[in-house]
C-alpha cells in the first residue's frame, strides 16, 4: 500500500482532475491513500516547520516506511525508482511518501525517513509536484509489470 | 520571445487546461508560441527521429536560439534556470525550447542547440513535461522580476 502525505492543498481544477486520473489508473496496482495538510502561513519558517511536522506525524503509523521527497535527496532514474518501489513494497509492504512545503520539512521528519529522493534540482509548486510523483509511481508499476508506457 | 516546439500533442483535458493557465500567466512577461509536432509511430527509432527532426526544422528560423530539454542535459536549480533565461533573452532576444519524443531527438537537433538542460533524471510523458517546463519558465519570470511565488 502507498500513502502520500502532502503539505499544501490541491486547488487548481486541472490538478485535481490530474490526481483523479492517476488515482484511477493506480487503483489497478495498489491501494493508495492521499492526505493533505494545510501549510502554515507563518513568517517564522522554523515555527511553521514544527507545526507542519506535528500535523504530518498524526498521519503516521509506527510501521510506516517513509520516503521523503526533497530537493537535496538522491536523484534516480525512473527505472531505479521503479525497482526501489518494488523492493520496498516487497520487504516492507508499504511506502509513505512525504512531500514538504516550499520550505521543506522539519529535521525530525528527515530523521525518520528511510530514504530521501529528489525528482529535480528545480523547485516545483507542491501541487504540480504531487502530480509528478503520482506519474512516477504509475510509471514504476508499468515498469514492474513489464507493460509498455510511452506518452 | 519564447517558442516551444514539442514532439507529441496534448490530449488530456487537464493538461490542456494547465497549458491555458500558464499561457495566460506568462502573457504578462513574454510573447509565447507553442508548436506541437505529431510524434512518429515508427518501430524503427532512427527513422522516427529523422522524420521528427524534419518536422521540427520547419518551425525553426535562422536566428533561433535553441535550448534542448534532454534527460542527459545539465541539471540546474530554478534560480540558475531563471538567470539563464534572463541572460539568453537579454543577449539573444529569443529562446526556442525543444522537447523531443520519448526517444529523444535526432543528433542534428542536439548539434544546433546552444544549451541542453535536464529537468530530471526521471522520464516524464511529454505532455506532463511540457507543463513542468511552462511552470519553470513562469517561475523564472517571477524570480527575474523579484515577485514572490510560493505554491
Q: In the block, which residue shows the cell 496534448? A: B10
Is the pLDDT assigned to residue B151 strictly greater than 80? no
In this predicted model, what pLDDT tens digit does every residue of B24-53 receive, in sequence order? 999 999 999 999 999 888 889 999 999 999
Instruction: Supply the pLDDT for residue B150.
Output: 61
- Cβ within 8 Å, pair A135-B125: yes
> Which pLDDT tens digit goes with each residue over B99-138?
998 889 999 999 999 999 999 999 999 989 999 999 999 9
| Residues of B in Cβ contact (< 8 Å) with A102 | 150-151
Q: Average of pLDDT values for A73-98?
A: 96
- Locate the chain B residue with the closest alpha carbon to A15: B14
- CA–CA gap between residue B86 and residue B93 (Å, rounded): 9
Domains for chain B: give ranges and CATH numbers: 31-144 (3.40.1280.10)
Instruction: Extract the C-alpha cell encoding B18.
Output: 494547465
Contact B132 A136 (CB under 8 A): no
The angle formed by the CA atoms of residues B149, B27 and B150, to the nearest 5 degrees, is 10
Provide DSSP, B88-148: HHHHHS-EEEEE-BTTB--HHHHHH-SEEEES-SS---HHHHHHHHHHHHHHHHHHHTT--
Output the CA angle A129-B139-B96, nearest 5 degrees.
Answer: 105
Higher pLDDT, B121 or A42: B121
Would you call B127 and A151 a contact, using CB atoms and an 8 Å cutoff? yes
Q: Do A151 and B8 touch (CB under 8 A)?
A: yes
Q: Which of B18, B22, B41, B120 to mutate to test the interface with A (most CBs of A within 10 A)?
A: B120
Between A142 and B42, whose confidence is greater?
A142
**Which tens digits make up the pLDDT trace of B59-77?**
999 999 999 999 999 999 9
Mutate to test the interface with A, among B122, B128, B130 (most CBs of A within 10 A): B122
Which chain A positions have a beta carbon within 8 Å of B102's beta carbon? 150-151
Q: Do B151 and A127 touch (CB under 8 A)?
A: yes
Amino acid at each position: 500500500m502507498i500513502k502520500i502525505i502532502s503539505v499544501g492543498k490541491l486547488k487548481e481544477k486541472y490538478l485535481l482532475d490530474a490526481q483523479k486520473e492517476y488515482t484511477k489508473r493506480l487503483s489497478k496496482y495498489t491501494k493508495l491513500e492521499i492526505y493533505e495538510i494545510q501549510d502554515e502561513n507563518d513568517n517564522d519558517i522554523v515555527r511553521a516547520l514544527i507545526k507542519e511536522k506535528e500535523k504530518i506525524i498524526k498521519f503516521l503509523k509506527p510501521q510506516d516506511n517513509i520516503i521523503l521527497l526533497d530537493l537535496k535527496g538522491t536523484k534516480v532514474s525512473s527505472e531505479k525508482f521503479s525497482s526501489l518501489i518494488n523492493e520496498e513494497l516487497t520487504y516492507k509492504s508499504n511506502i509513505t511518501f512525504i512531500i514538504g512545503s516550499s520550505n521543506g520539512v522539519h529535521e525530525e521528519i528527515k530523521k525518520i525517513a528511510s530514504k530521501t529522493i529528489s525528482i529535480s534540482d528545480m523547485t516545483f509548486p507542491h501541487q504540480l509536484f504531487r502530480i509528478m510523483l503520482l506519474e512516477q509511481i504509475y510509471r514504476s508499476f508499468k515498469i514492474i509489470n513489464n507493460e509498455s508506457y510511452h506518452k
